[in-house]
Amino acid sequence: MVRINKYLSEAGVCSRRGADKLIKEGRVLINRNLAFLGSVVNEGDEVQVDEIIVRTSSKKILIAFNKPRGIVCTTADPKSKDTNIIEYIGYPERIFPMGRLDKESEGLILLSNDGDMSNKLMKARNNHEKEYEVEVNRPFDDVFLKGMSEGVPILDTVTRKCTLKRTGKTTFNIILTQGLNRQIRRMCEYFGYKVVKLRRIRIMNIKLGNLKLGAYRNVTDKEYAELIKGLR
């Protein structure tokens, strides 16, 4: 017996919060009866979302994808002309992105069918590290690096302290432990700089490495075990 939102999350349909939204919209059925918040699924029950039967999978999938610029990480929208990440990859089983990269950014993003893992990874309070390579539109000084690292007022809050390392006159690496909307771009804009290239190269222990742009790979058993350990 499991709550319906957890069932949909584990089946890779969406997050638990997304499942609650589907339930409120009347799009979820259990044994052809309308589900409600708090409904439970028992062994042998038939669950449908938009008349499509949903089944959980015992096989956990976790892939690393090197997202190109121009690909969006939201769910498919028939009204949008943007290429969706799921459509782009064309994976044979149901998976979803664990977090997001904005349309103009590229680099590492993880995709899985494990909703619980995704929820743990995306919880800001867990302080999971994500590392990025950044290029801005003009040379910067050490005052910029210090200001960025100590916290920047954006989106009605102040960003957490973070680690920066200069890699060139206009380039640096930054390690964040939170994921505010377009955070790095907004942080740079606060100091009068514009990001011209942004690439994520690491999520916790998973590294982008030499994975080709637009390609994906299965996360190794060792990487998977370390990631799970880090999410506890």
Catalytic positions: 102
Q: Residues 219, 223, 229, 230: is their CA dihedral positive or negative?
A: negative
| Amino acid (1-letter code) at residue 194 | K
Query: How many CB atoms are located within 10 Å of the residue 200 CB?
Result: 21
The residues, any chain, with a CB within 8 Å of residue 58's CB and separated by 6 or more, are: none
* Alpha carbon distance 127, 131 (integer Å): 12
Please tell me whether residue 93 adopts helix, strand or coil conformation: coil
Question: Do residues 68 and 82 lie in contact, with contact meaning Cβ atoms separated by under 8 Å?
Answer: no
- One DSSP character per residue, 8-63 reads HHHTTS--HHHHHHHHHTT-EEETTEE--TT-EE-TT--EEETTEEE---SS--EE
**Distance spanning both ends of the chain, measured CA to CA:** 24
Question: Do residues 109 and 116 lie in contact, with contact meaning Cβ atoms separated by under 8 Å?
Answer: no
